[in-house]
Amino acid sequence: MKVAYKTDVGKQRTHNEDSILIDICMGIFLLADGLGGHQAGEVASNLAVKESYTYLKKNLNKVKSEGEVLKLLTESLLKAHNTIRAKSMTDINLMGMGTTLIQMLIKDSSTYICHVGDSRVYFFREEIKQITKDHTFENYLMEDEIIQREYLPLQKLHILTQAVGESETIVPELKQIKLKAEDMLLACSDGLTDMLSGKELESIIYQYRDNLNTAVDSLIKEANNKGGMDNISVILIKYE
């Protein structure tokens, strides 16, 4: 497989609270978008990818079935969650910190995805498709016919309903996709998707599908051209 990735501070933030950790040989791809003041978000996202990676690397060779892979991803995400919560209790500046977390594992012609938060994974075969569901108040309301979305302030719609380390309990979302040659996967923080639509993502990826580094640079450049309101992190994978 081919892989390109990059994280960028954006145009409006003074420091980057996103984290990426990748091990191509093991097929592990991790992306986190931290939350919290006093740079606590940076601590949370960094802890999330490191704790998750350590657990996956230690235990991946033990799993045999597809169900065991998904169970392992869940365990590693919960390990990261508990570590962040414990760390936040040791320093007043870290209280309430949290992070989104995407875990992608490519193994035996499948990609396994485990995530919490509003960072996203897109799958590109003939067209682009969002694989993950944002864990936001907006999506929660869309599932509740009683509450009318249009009567709520816009800023409340983007509040996360769960985040790694911040929420008392979390319920990770799990996905599995069988891969074919030329399939592509995009993992990104909301600094990208708040600036670019799905169609814009698709257009750039399709245009540069044979040069992943150029595709990643172009995605980040376009997001910054449209305001760069947040940190921007991108992982782009082409399965071969």
Per-residue pLDDT tens for 56-86? 999 999 999 999 999 999 999 999 999 999 9
Cβ atoms of 106 and 70 within 8 Å: the answer is no
- Model pLDDT, residue 150: 54
What pLDDT does 36 receive? 82
Bridge partners of residue 124, in order along the sequence: 128, 184
Tell me the pLDDT of the chain averaged across its residues.
93
Indicate the pLDDT class of residue 151, thresholds 50, 70 and 90.
low
| Cβ-based burial of 190 (10 A; exposed 0-12, middle 13-18, buried ≥19) | buried
State the pLDDT at residue 136.
Answer: 87
Q: Which residues pair with 173 in a beta bridge?
A: 115
Q: Is it the case that residue 206 has pLDDT exceeding 70?
A: yes
Location of structure tokens 């984290």: 19
pLDDT at site 94: 95
189 pLDDT more than 90: yes
Angstrom distance (rounded) from CA 223 to CA 221: 5
Provide the sign of the torsion angle of the four alpha carbons 60, 71, 49, 227, taken in this order.
positive
pLDDT over 80 (residue 30): yes
- Domains annotated for the chain, with CATH where assigned, are 2-238 (3.60.40.10)
Residues 99 and 45 sit within 8 Å (Cβ to Cβ):
yes
What mean pLDDT comes out for the span 28-39? 91
Residues 6+ apart with CB under 8 A from 118: 33, 100, 134, 135, 136, 158, 160, 190
Percent of the chain whose pLDDT exceeds 70: 91
Q: How confident is the model at residue 152 (pLDDT cuts 50, 70, 90)?
A: low
Paired residues of 104 in beta bridges: 29, 113
Residue 181 pLDDT greater than 60, yes or no = yes
Is the confidence at residue 215, as pLDDT, over 90?
yes
In this predicted structure, the answer to whether residue 240 has a pLDDT above a threshold of 60 is yes
How many whole angstroms separate alpha carbon 194 and alpha carbon 230?
A: 9
Q: pTM (2 decimals)?
A: 0.93
Per-residue model confidence as pLDDT tens digits over 154-176? 555 568 999 999 999 999 999 99
> What pLDDT, in 10s, does the model give residues 95-137?
999 999 999 999 999 999 999 999 999 999 989 999 999 998 7
